[in-house]
Structure 1
Amino acid sequence: MRGQSLRRAGLTVAAPVLAVVFAMIVTSLVLAVAGDPVGGVWDVIFSKPKARNVVNIVNGAGTLYLSALAAAIGFKMNLFNIGVDGQYRVAAFCAAWFGGYGLLPGWLNILAAVLVAMVTGALWAGIAAALRVTRGVSEVIATIMLNAIAGSLVAYLLRQFGEVDGNNLATTTLPKSSWLEGLQLVSGAPNKVYTLTILAVVAGLVYWVLLNRTVFGFSLRATGMSETAAAASGISSKRMILAAMLLSGAVAGLIGMPLIFSSSHSYGLTFQTGLGFAGIAVALLGRNHPVGIGFAAVLFAFLNEQANGLQIQAGVSSDIVSIMQGVIVLSVVIAYAVVQQVNKTAEQRAVAAQLAAAAKTPEGVTA
C-alpha cells in the first residue's frame, strides 16, 4: 500500500512538470513558425531576475495566490466561480472608496477597509449563489453576467464619485496614515514587497485548516464529490453551495488589498484587471492544493515579470507568455485526467491481485 501511495504521489507531481515541458515545446514551435528567435526568448525568460524583479514576482504571486484560492474554494464544491474578476473589482472599489474617507485612524482604517472588501466580495458572489439555490441558475452563466455588470457598475461609480487625477479617474486617495510602505525583504531592491501580501499566507493556512481539519470542510468536500451522498448524510447541499460561494467571494475581495494600500492608494481606471481569470488557471495548475497553488502562482508571476523584457531584448511580443500559460493549463488538465485513469487502473489491478491471492489460500489457513 505504501508503494502505491508513493507511486500515486509521484504521478501527481509529474503531471504539472510534464505540462510545463510540453508547453515549452509548443511555445518553441510557435516561435519557430513565426520566425522569432527561439533561443533568444528562452534566454530572456530564464535569465536571473534582478532584485527589483524578484520583488515584483513576489507581489504578483501574492495577488495570484489569493485569486486562485477564491477559485479553488468553488472547485472543491464542484462549483465554477468564474466571477472572481468581477468580485474583486467591486470589492476593491468599495474598499478604496471607504478607506479614502479616513473615518478611522491608521490601522483601524485599513482593517475596516479590508472587511468592507471581504463583505462586498461575498455579497457579489452571493447573488450567483442565491440564483443557483433558489432558481437553479448555473453559477457559470450567473457569474459571467455579473462580471460584465461589475465592470459597468464600477465605471459608473467612478464617474459619480471619482476624482480626476491627471489622465486617471480614481477614488479619493487614502490618507497617508493608511499607507503601507511595504517590507524590505529583498536586499538591494529599490522597491518593497506589499505589506498585505501576508494576507495570501494567512488565507492559505486558513484554507488548509478549514478544508482538512473542520466539519465544515468535510461537508464541503463531500458535497462537491456527490450531492446525493451528502444529502443522505444529512448535509444540505443548498446551504453548502451558498456558504462556499460566499467564502469564495470574501477571499476574492482580498485580491486588490495589497496593491491599494502599498502602491496605488486608490482605485482608478488604471487598476490592474484580469487577475480573476488568471487565478482560475493557477488553481487548476496547483490542483486546488494550497502548496500546489503557491508553486503555480510563483511560476505565473515569474513568467509575467520576465516577459516584460522580451520586446526589447529579443524583439518578441510578451504575448507569447500568455500562449505558454494557456498551453500549460490545457496540458495540466489533460495530464491530471491521464494520471487519474492510471491510478484507477493500478488500484483495480491491486484489488484483483489481492482477491486472486485470497482465492488461492487453502480453506482454514490464515493468509
Structure 2
Amino acid sequence: MSDRFDLRRILMSLAAPALAIVVAVIVTSAILVAAGDPVGEVWSTILSVPRPRVVVAIINASIVYYISAIAVAIGFRMNLFNIGVDGQYRIAAFAAAVVVGEAWLPGPLNILLGLVVAMLAGGIWAGIAGLLKVYRGVSEVISTIMLNAIATILVAFLLRKVAFRTEGSNVVSTRPLTEESRVPGIQLIPGVSREVYGFLFLAVIVGFLYWFILEKTRFGFDLRATGRSETAAVASGVKVKRMVMTSMVLSGVVAGLVGMPLLFGQDYSYGSTFQPGLGFAGIAIALLGRNNAIGIVFAALLWGFLEQQSNALQITAGVSDRLVLIIQGVIVLSVVIAYEVIRRANVRFEQRKVAQALAEQGSMTKEGAPA
C-alpha cells in the first residue's frame, strides 16, 4: 500500500511539469499559426539533437542558471520573494573582479578571496532588503526590485572609476584576471574545443548544501516551518525576525556566486558585456523546479536547452530567436497552474480515501455489534 502511494505521488509530481510543457507547445504552436510562421520547422529546429559544441554551451548556461535558481529558492522556501538576485550578483561579480584583478594573493588563494568577496557583497546587498523588512515592514518584493536598479546604476558608476581599457576595444571592464587566477575548464566532450566551466563543482556543492541544510538540519526545519506558518513557528519558539534576516542574507550569499563561473571561466573581468538577466531567469527556473535541488537541475537544463537551440531559428525557420522567450514564459505560467491542478487533485484523492476508510470502519463496527 505504501509503495503504491509513493508511486502515485511520484507520478502526480511528474504530471505537473509534463502537463506544463504540453500546454506550452500547444500555446506556442497556436501563436505561430496566427503569425503565419512554419510550426513544423520551428519545433524540428528546437527539438533537434544539439551538436556537441552546443551541448557544452547548454551545460555551461545551466551551471549559472542553477546557482541563480538556488539563491531564489532559499527565499521561496521561507516564503520570501527575493527578486533582487540580479542586482546582488552584479554587485558581487563587480566587487570580486576588482579585488581578484589586483592579484594581491597567489592563484588559488586569489580565487578563494574572490569567492569570499562575492559572497560577502551579495549577502550584504540582500541584507539591506532583510533589514527593511524586519525593522520597517517593507515588502522584500518592492525593496529588492529597487535595489536591482540601484545596483545597476552603482556598478556602472564605479566601473567608470576603475575602468581598464584594452587597445582596439570599446568594451569598458575591470582589470583582467591574471592567468593563474583563472579556473581552467573541463574537457567533458572529446573533440570539442569548448570546455565546461571548471566551477561545475561549485554548482554541485551549492546544490548539496541547499538540500542538506534545508532537509537535514534544525535550521532548515525552522526555515521551512516559518515559511509555512509564522504563527506556528512563533508558538514553537522560532525567532521569525532572525529567520527572515538570515534567509535573505543566505539567499544573497548564494546570489553572489552566480557570476563566478563567468568571471573565472569565460570573461575574466567584469565589463559592459557581462551577461545580464541571470537573476530573473533564476526565478522562473526555481518555480519550474519547485524549489527542489534535483528538480532545479532539470529545469536549468531545459532552460539552457531552449536558449541554445533557439539560436538557429532565424536561419533555419526564418523566425526570431525571441520566440523562445514566449515558450519559456508559457512554461512557467503553465507550471504554476498545473501544480495547483495537481494539488487539488491530490486533496480530492486524500478526501475520498479518508471517506472510504471511515465508511469501511463504520460497516465493520455495525457488523460486530451484538443483535
The one of 249, 252, 255 equivalent to 1:249 is 252
**Cα deviation, residue 30, structure 1:** 1.0
Does residue 349 in structure 1 map to residue 356 in structure 2? no
Match of 1:225 in 2: 228
Map Cα deviations across residues 258-295 of structure 1 (whole Å, 9 max, x no partner). 11111110000000000100010000000100111000
Match of 2:341 in 1: 338
Tell me which stretches of 4 or more aligned residues in structure 1 moved more than 4 Å.
Answer: 363-366
- In the superposition, the TM-score normalised over structure 1's length comes to 0.97
**Cα deviation, residue 346, structure 1:** 1.2
Query: Pairwise mapping of residues 252-271 of structure 1 onto structure 2 (< 5 A)?
Result: 252-271=255-274
**Cα deviation, residue 313, structure 1:** 1.6
Match of 2:146 in 1: 145
- Partner of 2:365, secondary structure, is coil
Distance 1:235 1:360 in 2: 45
- In the superposition, the TM-score normalised over structure 2's length comes to 0.96
The one of 197, 209, 214 equivalent to 1:211 is 214
- Partner of 2:165, secondary structure, is strand
Query: Pairwise mapping of residues 188-337 of structure 1 onto structure 2 (< 5 A)?
Result: 188-337=191-340
Match of 1:159 in 2: 160
Distance 1:365 1:214 in 2: 47
Match of 1:47 in 2: 48
Does residue 12 in structure 1 map to residue 13 in structure 2? yes
Distance 2:44 2:361 in 1: 58
Match of 1:171 in 2: 174
Match of 2:78 in 1: 77
Comparing 171-180 and 95-104, the one that deviates more: 171-180
Comparing 219-228 and 25-34, the one that deviates more: 25-34
Aligned 8 A contact 1:118 1:254 in 2: yes
Match of 1:88 in 2: 89
Does residue 118 in structure 1 map to residue 119 in structure 2? yes
Aligned 8 A contact 1:90 1:150 in 2: yes
Q: Any stretches of 5+ residues in structure 1 without a counterpart?
A: none
**Cα deviation, residue 364, structure 1:** 11
Distance 2:212 2:130 in 1: 24
Which residue identity lines up with residue 306 of structure 2 in the other structure? L
Comparing 181-190 and 258-267, the one that deviates more: 181-190
Distance 2:245 2:184 in 1: 37
Distance 2:367 2:109 in 1: 74
- Partner of 1:362, secondary structure, is helix
Aligned 8 A contact 1:51 1:187 in 2: no
**Cα deviation, residue 357, structure 1:** 2.0
Distance 1:112 1:364 in 2: 75
Comparing 349-358 and 210-219, the one that deviates more: 349-358
The one of 185, 188, 192 equivalent to 1:185 is 188
Q: Any stretches of 5+ residues in structure 2 without a counterpart?
A: none
Using the aligned pairs only, state the percent identity: 57
Aligned 8 A contact 1:126 1:249 in 2: yes
